[in-house]
Chain A
Amino acid sequence: MSKQEERVDVVIIGSGASGAAAAWSLAETRMKIVCLEQGEWTKPNEYPSTTRDWEARHFTEFSISPNRRARETDYPINERNSPIAVANFNGVGGGTILYNAHFPRFHPSDFRVQTLDGVADDWPIDYETLEPYYDENDRMMGVSGLSGDPAYPPKLDLMKPVPLGKTGQALGQGFNDLGWHWWPSDAAIATEPYDGRAEYINLSACTSGCAQGAKASTDITYWPHAIRAGVELRTRARVSQILVDENDMATGVVYFDEDGVERFQPAEVVLLACNGVGTPRVLLNSTSNRFPDGLANRNGLVGKNLMFHPYASIQGIFDRPLDGPNGPGVCIWSQEFYETDLSRGYVRGFTYEIGRGRGPVSTAYTGVFSGRIPWGEDHHQHYRSMVQRMTGMVAICEDLPEETNTVTIDDELVDSDGIPCPKIDYTLSENSLKMLDFSVERATEVLKTAGAYDILTESPIAGGGWHLMGTARMGNDPERSVVNEWGRSHDVKNLFVVDGSLFVTSAGVNPTRTIGALALYVADSMKKRLATLFD
Chain B
Amino acid sequence: MNDNVIASEKFDSQLRRTLVALLDTMIPANDEFDAPSAGTDDIVSDVVQSMSGDAPTVVGEMLTRLNEKSSARFEDLDTTARWHAFTELQRTEGYALRTLSGVLLQCYYRNDQVLESLGMEARSPFPLGNEVEQGDWSLLDPVKARDPFYREV
Contact = CB atoms under 8 A, between A and B. Distances in A.
Given A51-B124, A376-B83, A183 B151 contact: no
A126 interface: yes
A326 interface: yes
A112 B151 CA distance: 11
Q: How large is the interface on A (under 10, 10 to 19, 20 to 34, 35 or more residues)?
A: 35 or more
Contact of A364 (B86, B109, B125): B109
Interface string A98-123: 00000000011101100110000000
Contacts of A360: 109-110, 114-115, 118, 120
A169 B138 CA distance: 10
A341 to B, nearest CB: 11
A323 B122 CA distance: 17
A202 B144 CA distance: 26
B105 interface: yes
Contact of B134 (A164, A326, A376): A164
Contacts of B15: none
A203 B129 contact: yes
A320 to B, nearest CB: 14
A201 B135 contact: no
Interface stretch (B4-12, B26-34, B60-68, B69-77): B26-34
Contacts of A52: 110, 122-124
A3 interface: no
Contacts of B136: 164, 169
A151 B118 CA distance: 40
A264 B40 CA distance: 58
Interface stretch (A19-27, A300-308, A379-387): A379-387
B143 A150 contact: yes
A53 B129 contact: no
A150 B151 contact: no
Nearest to A169: B135
A164 B146 contact: no
A323 B131 CA distance: 9
Interface in A150-188: 150-153, 163-166, 168-169, 172-173, 175-176, 179, 181-184
B130 A204 contact: yes
A172 B139 contact: yes
Contacts of A363: 109
B33 A380 contact: yes
A54 interface: yes
A125 interface: no
B78 interface: no
Contacts of A51: 124
Interface in B92-127: 98, 101-102, 105-106, 108-110, 114-115, 118, 120, 122-127
A202 B131 contact: yes
Given A51-B124, A181-B146, A202 B110 contact: no
Contact of B139 (A116, A150, A176, A365): A176
B41 interface: no
Given A183-B140, A361-B110, A339 B150 contact: yes
A165 B148 CA distance: 26
A327 interface: yes
A151 B125 contact: no
B125 A361 contact: no
Given A361-B109, A364-B109, A150 B126 contact: no
A363 B108 CA distance: 12
Nearest to B90: A375
A115 B152 CA distance: 12
Given A375-B86, A380-B30, A361 B143 contact: no
B142 to A, nearest CB: 6
B105 A364 contact: yes
Name the residue among A51, A56, A212, A365 with the largest chain B CB count within 10 angstroms: A56
Nearest to A203: B125
B128 interface: yes
Interface of A: 47, 49-56, 107-109, 111-112, 115-116, 126-127, 146, 148, 150-153, 163-166, 168-169, 172-173, 175-176, 179, 181-184, 200-205, 211-212, 323, 326-327, 338-339, 360-361, 363-365, 368-369, 375-377, 379-380, 384, 387
20 contacts: A49-B124, A53-B106, A54-B124, A55-B106, A115-B153, A150-B150, A164-B135, A166-B133, A176-B139, A204-B125, A211-B127, A212-B126, A326-B132, A327-B132, A338-B150, A361-B109, A364-B105, A365-B105, A375-B86, A384-B33
Given A164-B134, A169-B136, A365-B102, 12 more contacts: A52-B123, A56-B50, A109-B150, A112-B153, A164-B137, A165-B133, A176-B142, A183-B143, A202-B131, A360-B120, A361-B110, A379-B28
